[in-house]
Amino acid sequence: MNVDDLEKRLFKAARTAPMNETVPYAFEKRIMGRVNELVRQDGLTYWAAGLWRAAVSGVFIMLVCGVLTMVSISAGSETQSLAADLEETVFAAFDASGGAW
């Protein structure tokens, strides 16, 4: 079906239809109420959309870091584990050989 042809036929049918001057009761109020519903959006809507975008990007970053960690573990690197590195870093301040109090 040709959309342009259909549009022309619909316009022609609308022009040949008899004019009706009556309007349903409170038609303007119903239409303006619908328009106001569509226009009004609170700030919470935009805030929620931004948070969802941030969540999606956070999940993506988490997956990339997880894949990189799995690749580095499977590559056979025989360095200290992350737990040992963390323990060394935390207890570095308490090392008795280094500082003078």
Q: How many CB atoms lie within 10 A of CB 87?
A: 12
Question: Tens digits of per-residue pLDDT, 53-92?
Answer: 999 999 999 999 989 888 877 666 556 677 778 888 888 8
Ranges of each domain in the chain: 43-92
Give pLDDT tens digits for 25-50: 888 899 888 888 776 677 788 888 89
Average pLDDT over residues 7-33: 88
CB within 8 Å of 4: residues ≥ 6 apart:
none
Q: What is the structure's pLDDT at 39?
A: 65
Higher pLDDT, 10 or 42: 10
| Model pTM score | 0.38
